[in-house]
Every structure is written in structure tokens, then in C-alpha cells.
Amino acid sequence: MNDRKLGSTGIEVSEVGMGCWAIGGASFRDGVPSGWSGANVVQSLETVRKAWDLGVTLFDTADAYGRGKSEVLVGMGLNAHKGSAVIATKVGNSLAAPGQDFSEPYIRGALDASLTRLEMDCVDLYQLHGPKAPVMTDALFALMADLRASGKIRAWGVSIGSIEEGFRAIEGGAQTIQLVYNILQQEIGDAIFPAAQEKGVGIIVRVPLASGWLTGKYNAETVFPSSDHRSLRYPPDRVREMAEGVAKLDFLMEEADSMAEAALRFVLAHPAVSTVIPGAKTPAQVAENVVASGKPLSEGAMARIKSLFG
């Protein structure tokens, strides 16, 4: 496993990390699915431990994943390794009421609760979880800087959902940006990467497998369980669209053992990327993900991807 610098934070991370949303299992916010089906506690703990054994050092979770369950499992799974691992969590999707809450009292209380669930005194990276640009005020950024000065967090960042949010986070001094970037969804990364590199902002790429589509497991007939958040995000028309896109990528099997490996290698080819955090629910999925480290895709494959989806 290769390591990379997490921007200018002074933290080094494995270039393939582990996204820990899925191990939080099925959960709901106001009756709407906000988690993943098919996770169980024993297997989730085994997955975290397998990731560590295979060289993964970055584990990305959030208080909202399974309503705290993911954080508990990350803390339990890493156990004595927590001092060596890099644990990132997030705040903002309220566990106390519908919607989001980025107020100072809520964030301070939520950080203490996350530290309790993780059984830690300091979290390595604390991220604002999807705030809209108008919510990212100077006062909010000052609060994050104050939490860092207090010693409860080593660094802070923002998990964004749009280009506008990314630029506002960089302007406000975020040390890291987490964003969606994959073969099928390149727009946000292409816009944000140059500014991030210029400012020394670490880039954490989430959804590198396009919510599982780039594993090759799904097709035009796929129907996600009602307890899975993808059941809302992928109605039949969108399912067919995604399947058609993936079908154009068969050529990647000429230089990778799996579609997932090729998709991760695509993300890691960009020099702005500090780490990629594919989700995993099983030890086998982790093992498949980590083989992407240190093996860039050929220039020909990269050019062909860009011609199709860039």
C-alpha cells in the first residue's frame, strides 16, 4: 500500500482508504432510507480489521452513518490501532432533529459524542457534512479552527456536493475537501482539483465506484431494496443510463482484474488526489479495493475514458 500526504495537514494516509458508511447498515431519516442494506455487526468488524491488515490507514465515517453505529464499529474494529490509524468523521446531519445543524452548540456536542463512540480523545480529521455554501460562514470556519486549537481535532475539512461549495470551503481555509469523483462523474473534481493543489488542500475522493455501478455487479434490470438509499437515487430511467455507461468500459478489463480495480486506479491517477475511500461491507470487498494501490492506468486507457466521459 502506498501512502500520500493529506494536503498540507502533516498527516499521511494510505492512498486507498475505507469508506465506512455501508457498515452503519440500514437507517432512516424522517422515514427516508439513508443507509445500506446487507450489513451485519460481526462482518463489519471483520471488514475494518481486514482493511487495517492490508495496509489501509484512513477510515472515513460520520456520526450520521447508522446514527452513530458506524463510528462505534470503527472504534471497536481498530481497537489498539487507533493511535496509528487516521480516523475521519463528520458532523452536520442532525441526530436530534430533522435536517442539518451547523450551530456551534450542536457541533461542539456532536464532536464530544463522536469521540465517545470512537473511544478517542482526539479525532484526526473532522469534516462538515454537506453544508450548502450560504451555511459556510466565517463564524463556522472560525469554530472549526478553534476546535483544532483545542486539541480535540488534528485537522478539519468539508465534505461537499457542488463546485460552489468546494470553492467556498477552500476560501474559508478548509484543510481537506471530500468530493464525488469517478469515471462517470468527473465534473466536480475537474473544477476543484487545480484550486486545491494551489492551496495545498488535501482531496479525499468518495463514491469512486459510483455507488457500486463501477463494480460491474449491476445492470439495466437492477432494483435496489427499499431500505437502501440507492432505491431513491436510481429510478428505472437512471438505472438504464448507468448501465449503458458502464457497458462502454469493457476495454478496462484488458489491464485490470476487475472493474472496481480499474475505477480506483483512474481516481488515483490524478495528482491532486490524496486518497480514495471506496466503501466496503465485507473483507473480500476490501481485498479487492486495495489492489488498486501503486498501479496507474495506462495513458491510453485514461485518454479513452476522458473521450467517453470527460
Taken in order of first residue, the domains within the chain and their CATH numbers are: 3-309 (3.20.20.100)
CA angle at residue 100 from 200 to 75, to 5 degrees?
65
pLDDT at 25: 78
pLDDT at 28: 73
Count of CB atoms within 10 A of residue 127's CB?
Answer: 28
Residue 37 and residue 26 in contact, taking contact as beta carbons nearer than 8 Å: yes
Query: What's the pLDDT tens digit per position in 23-65?
Result: 987 777 777 767 777 778 999 999 999 999 999 999 999 999 9
pLDDT at 27: 76
d(CA 227, CA 229): 7
- Residue 176 Cα distances to 19, 20, 166, angstroms: 16, 18, 10
For the cut 90, the answer to whether the pLDDT of residue 87 exceeds it is yes
Q: For the chain, what is the radius of gyration of the CA atoms?
A: 18
pLDDT at 82: 94
d(CA 290, CA 119): 27
Query: What's the pLDDT tens digit per position in 102-144?
Result: 999 999 999 999 999 999 999 999 999 999 999 999 999 999 9
Q: Sort 163 into a burial class: Cβ within 10 Å, 0-12 / 13-18 / 19+.
A: middle
Confidence of residue 294 (pLDDT cuts 50, 70, 90): very high
